[in-house]
Amino acid sequence: MIRIMLLGLVLFGMWSSGTLSWRQFHSGEACPILDLVPVCYLVFTGYLTMLCAIILRTWRPLFYWLFWVGLFMVGVLALIGSVFEFIKGPICPRTFGWIPMCYLSLVFSLLIALLNVLVTRSKK
């Protein structure tokens, strides 16, 4: 059950960041830019990396580190975005019309980390 929840959160994060990335690709104004790369592209890449790690580590535990790389990327970007959102005001894209997506991504990152630890411990 925990594995399904973990996969569901990763897929939902990938879907939401993918939707935002698609809007960014078409309009160029959907998410903040970090240097030359839109942040939503980086977040999508992080969720995609986590999904690949979940799929690949069923065959080889070697891919366990890949999950943490993706989670680190998403978590750090969400933390930085949340801090800037809190200090400077609205910089993150909104969902449901009022919730900053960086706040949701930070919560998702923490939940995904917790679920991954629980999945890893249940294997031992």
Nearest Cα to Cα of residue 68 among 80, 58, 57, 79: 57
Q: What is the pLDDT of residue 58?
A: 67
Q: How far apart are CA 124 and CA 106, in angstroms?
A: 28
Q: Give me the residues paired with residue 94 across strands.
A: 100
Confidence of residue 46 (pLDDT cuts 50, 70, 90): very high
Q: Model confidence over 94-108: pLDDT tens digits?
A: 777 788 888 888 998
Q: Is 65 exposed, middle or buried (0-12, 13-18, 19+ CB in 10 A)?
A: exposed
Residue 61: per-residue pLDDT: 67
Q: With 90 as the cut, is the pLDDT of residue 76 above it?
A: yes
Radius of gyration (C-alpha) of the chain in whole angstroms: 15
pLDDT band at 59 (very low <50, low <70, confident <90, very high): low
CA distances to 38, 49, 80 from 29, rounded to whole Å, are: 9, 25, 19
Residue type present at position 37: V
In the chain, % of residues over pLDDT 70: 94
Strand, coil or helix: 36: coil
pLDDT at 74 over 80: yes
What confidence category does residue 123 fall into, taking pLDDT thresholds of 50, 70 and 90?
low
Domain boundaries, the chain: 1-119
Amino acid at 91: I
**Is 52:65 a contact under the CB 8 Å cutoff?**
no
Entry pTM: 0.86
